[in-house]
Amino acid sequence: MQALAERTARALALAGGALLIGLGLLVCASVTGRALGHLSGAAWLPEGLAAWLGTFGQIRGDYELVEMGAAICVFAFLPFADVSGAHARVEVFTERLALRPWLERGWALVMALALTTIAWRLGVGTADKLRNGQTSFIFAIPIWWPYAACLVLACLGALISWIRLFGRAR
């Protein structure tokens, strides 16, 4: 169970990383399109070429996709940060404390509770967005789609933290 949870966290991190690269490529395409479009205004270009370049342009609303993708990336990354112990902490004062293993378990419990609360509230938020039918400005993507994707990842993250907590308790 423990091993499966950690493998899932790693797989999610890799999937999130792939999505991040995808977003990077999207932005690159958009920027290149914009540059080609600008180039079409150059007077020294033959007319046909300029007209052809004029068909290029920035991907309108690319930032909407980047924003949605970024949120999904972060929720995919979060479980792995916990598993790999990457979260920022202050180490100095507890280094020689005999209580330290107990502290660590306590904070793991708080973290699991926090992640569960976050997933619960995100679920309520998703239901809100589903009900009010809010869509993104340019692509008119229903906002509840990315919310739901994040919700799935947040639930997985919470589940992983509970599994690891009970694995540690034994």
By the criterion CB under 8 A, which residues form the site for other proteins?
Answer: 10, 13-14, 16-18, 20-21, 23-25, 27-28, 30-31, 63, 66-68, 70-71, 73-78, 80-81, 84, 86-94, 100, 103-104, 107, 110-111, 114, 117-118, 121-122, 124-125, 128, 146-147, 150, 154
* Cβ at position 46, least distance to other proteins in Å: 25
Instruction: Name the residue nearer to other proteins (CB basis): 43 or 92.
Output: 92
Neighbours of 137 (CB within 10 A): 9
* Cβ at position 127, least distance to other proteins in Å: 9
* Cβ at position 141, least distance to other proteins in Å: 12
**Nearest partner of 142 among 162, 157, 160, 127, judged by Cα:** 127
Instruction: Name the residue nearer to other proteins (CB basis): 154 or 163.
Output: 154
Instruction: Name the residue nearer to other proteins (CB basis): 10 or 60.
Output: 10
Q: Which residues contact 116 (CB under 8 A, 6 or more apart)?
A: 158, 161, 162
* Cβ at position 72, least distance to other proteins in Å: 8
Instruction: Name the residue nearer to other proteins (CB basis): 47 or 91.
Output: 91
